């Protein structure tokens, strides 16, 4: 017989500030953004996406970005009062009974207790982050580690202002 297709459902929870900081550090550019169109299929690896939530501290969330996440992945951007740690943890705990796997996009050691808790609830927990800015203990605690590399981001060019011609 052929292999049995197991329909796993996955929730991806992204700590936006942590990931942005990591890729800015690695790419040496503040204009670097995660390319979700290449990263998401890689993370899912043929599993079904239940939801994609992007937690972001601060007001400067691009509406274009939010719209694209929504259109392509029914994703939503969640503005956080302070860091994403608590809102992301609450959401992950709420989703634990609804999905098979939770992928946390963050290298922050603050999520170690969350990972341990979710695994205790029977959820597979994967971490997606830039290796050299990810806490070793987080990688060890997770069921799987997806390394985010330069293939997973792009540098956007800010539109240049047209220069006035001198007559």
pLDDT of residue 162: 67
Which of 25-29, 47-51, 59-63 is predicted most confidently?
Answer: 47-51
Q: Which DSSP state fits 119? A: H
Out of 28-37, 38-47, 127-136, 156-165, pick the least confident.
156-165
What domains does the chain contain, in order, with CATH numbers?
A: 9-155 (3.40.50.1010)
User: With DSSP H G I counted as helix, E B as strand and the rest as coil, what are the percentages for the chain, rounded to 5?
Assistant: 40, 25, 35
Q: What is the DSSP string of 52-114?
A: EEEEEESS---HHHHHHHHHHH--EEEEESS-SHHHHHHHHHHHTTT-SEEEEE---GGGHHH
Q: Determine the average pLDDT of the residues in 100-107.
A: 98
Q: What is the pLDDT of residues 55-67, one digit of tens each?
A: 998 766 778 888 8
Average pLDDT, the chain: 90
Cβ contacts of 32 within 8 Å, gap of 6 or more: 20, 23, 24, 153, 154, 155, 156
What confidence tier does 134 reach under pLDDT thresholds 50, 70, 90? very high
Out of 29-33, 122-126, 130-134, pick the least confident.
29-33
d(CA 62, CA 161) in angstroms, rounded, equals: 19
d(CA 100, CA 107) in angstroms, rounded, equals: 21
Checking if the pLDDT of 164 tops 60, the result is yes
| pTM reported for the whole predicted model | 0.88
Token pair of 122 as six digits = 């029977």
Checking if the pLDDT of 112 tops 90, the result is yes
């Amino acid at each position: 017989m052929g292999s049995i297709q197991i329909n796993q459902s996955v929730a991806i929870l992204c700590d936006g500030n942590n990931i942005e900081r990591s890729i800015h550090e690695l790419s040496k550019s503040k204009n670097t953004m995660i390319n979700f169109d290449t990263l998401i299929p890689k993370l899912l690896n043929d599993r079904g996406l239940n939801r994609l939530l992007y937690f972001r501290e601060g007001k400067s969330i691009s509406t274009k970005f939010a719209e694209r996440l929504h259109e392509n992945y029914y994703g939503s951007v969640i503005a956080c009062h302070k860091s994403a740690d608590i809102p992301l943890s609450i959401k992950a705990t709420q989703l634990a009974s609804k999905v098979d796997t939770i992928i946390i996009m963050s290298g922050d050691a603050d999520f170690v207790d969350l990972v341990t808790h979710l695994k205790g609830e029977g959820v597979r927990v994967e971490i997606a982050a830039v290796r050299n800015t990810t806490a070793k203990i987080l990688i060890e605690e997770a069921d799987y580690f997806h390394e985010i590399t330069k293939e997973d981001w792009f540098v956007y060019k800010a539109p240049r202002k047209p220069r006035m011609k001198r007559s």
